[in-house]
Structure 1
């Protein structure tokens, strides 16, 4: 009789308790191959599967359309403005976590706990080792100087990374000065904007231009690609600063969706991503800057030297995105 009563009790208990989630579903702006090493390590440690759907465009719109039926638990994306967009669309929820608060500096997370930075990267200058002298370019403001006429390469002006940089210019100098800066940068282009950041390094290697704007981690990717190493070897990394301030940073980050059908597992993954193991994977695999204090940058990234980060808050940069995008379109930067 004890066994029968125990079985009945267990049956009742199983209907009363929720089934623990065994998966996390992610919508990612980042290519899955960049996230997969992290997903694999998390699954190996916890037994929780990580399912990644690559969503290149329209993520906020997709989440709005799906509403409470969305299968997505988390959004992983690059660029502070993209994080701000999903929050503004009303498809995320605040997350209270002592782990996230302890691991991620306040300047790299939302004051309302809607998004959290996981890595950072600097928007730097690739400079030809052969045609650009040390100290010849030191500030972002200098990029509009006539001395760079016909010597700069750039990807599209409406690319998120360049829009964020222009947003930082707006934050420092105002819209009018930022438009003048963008016009000066356009006037100094050696060719019509095209390709990604690595294509700009390739153009320097090919002699099409002398300097270009790019993210730090692309240098790491080129150094480790036999087909692209020559491009990286042809340039020197320069950490430009805003006059009187520091180097522009952007982030990759995470937000929990409002629907989040696997909330507990999703929170566990968020916290894990901010911890030592994941931060080290980010550093060694993607050549990004860890956000958690005490986790070192990769040896390659350390070899590029130290820099002072810009003091402008990333939320302020995100707020300037509409004006920055409008300026790029008004001056027909890509035309």
Structure 2
């Protein structure tokens, strides 16, 4: 996941205040700026712009085509360039659906006025209310838990409890995490804002920064590797990164996974922070009905199993079997906050992180 520009993110927040929300086979390309050619409406195609970079997602598209006869044309790139492309294309955009990871990206597209509300009983019944926009602008289709990972030789899990407790003196020089510009970091702090408000959250961020093992660098895999190597004893990371290492063909990766375990924080109060990968129908979608059918397909038990097995994520639909290695780490209570609130808090979270020195 690429870094996000502080100026761009906070600028979107300001613009959001003025936005009133509520009113090809596989063809893969890199998102580029340039004029778009308006695609005629048809029931036989859906044009998907996606920043999910998982090859297993192709199974989702193939299964949709097999079930409906509707072809999926895929444009794949990072989220921010895709959002800029849709804005540049304007009313002539061929895009029907934007799919991306993390509520912060969905919120940015929402704040730019790119989505339209849709009404779908199938989606509303399948997807919990806290994992979808209240007005149907976007829906979550998979979950990722941001947990505390610990070095098993250095930490007794009985020492762990909550995100809030990571600021305690015993963890000085022990915390590993990504940069403040990473959307996963921003969303975690945004969830803390929802729980505690700005003053307490800023005090918490300052305490966390004081306990960093090193200046933030690298992705979640790098945090887990550093934790296993003893650079620090605790890492903030999404669960599926550890499962990837555990399932790797490389002995060194599996050795890293053996040295690290997962702790689900805040089980005695609000629960562990979860984020989503999700999608919405674009305001200018030329194939709206096909786009809605596509989203409904993503919420079927069959598709949810592909999400769960393909990228070691948690499904949003109850009763879907988890990847067995992920399941071996146990179940957990998740924070029930609506993802939309996390998105709205994102820009303020980044400002707090800036002030507190989270680089």
Asked if TM exceeds 0.5, the reply is yes
CA 1:290–1:99: 2 relative to 1, 3 Å: same
Indicate the residue corresponding to 2:205 in structure 1: 182
CA 1:68–1:32: 2 relative to 1, 3 Å: farther
Q: How many residues align?
A: 317
- Normalising by the residue count of structure 1, what TM-score does the alignment of the two structures yield? 0.90
75, 78, 97: which one aligns with 1:53 = 75
CA 1:265–1:311: 2 relative to 1, 3 Å: closer
49, 57, 61: which one aligns with 1:27 = 49
Structure 1 position 127 matched with structure 2 position 150: yes
Indicate the residue corresponding to 1:42 in structure 2: 64
CA 1:273–1:168: 2 relative to 1, 3 Å: same
281, 296, 310: which one aligns with 2:306 = 281
Indicate the residue corresponding to 2:266 in structure 1: 241
Contact kept? 1:71, 1:260, Cα under 8 Å: yes
Matched residue SS, 2:157? coil
How far apart are residue 153 of structure 1 and its match? 1.0
Contact kept? 2:57, 2:310, Cα under 8 Å: no
Aligned-partner Cα distance in 2 for 1:318–1:202: 29
Aligned-partner Cα distance in 1 for 2:284–2:258: 46
Q: CA RMSD in A?
A: 1.7
Structure 1 position 214 matched with structure 2 position 227: no
Aligned-partner Cα distance in 1 for 2:243–2:215: 25
Contact kept? 1:77, 1:252, Cα under 8 Å: yes
Aligned-partner Cα distance in 2 for 1:136–1:291: 30
Contact kept? 1:25, 1:51, Cα under 8 Å: yes
Indicate the residue corresponding to 1:306 in structure 2: 331
Aligned-partner Cα distance in 2 for 1:48–1:220: 33
Matched residue SS, 1:246? coil
Matched residue SS, 2:86? helix
Ranges in structure 1 where 5+ consecutive residues have no aligned partner: 1-17
Deviates more, 1:36-45 or 1:106-115: 36-45
Indicate the residue corresponding to 1:330 in structure 2: 355
- Greater radius of gyration (CA): 1
Q: Deviations over 1:232-262 (max 9, x none)?
A: 1110100011773211111111100111122
Indicate the residue corresponding to 2:340 in structure 1: 315
Q: How does 1:144-163 map to 2 (within 5 A)?
A: 144-163=167-186
Aligned-partner Cα distance in 1 for 2:100–2:56: 11
Aligned-partner Cα distance in 2 for 1:291–1:32: 18
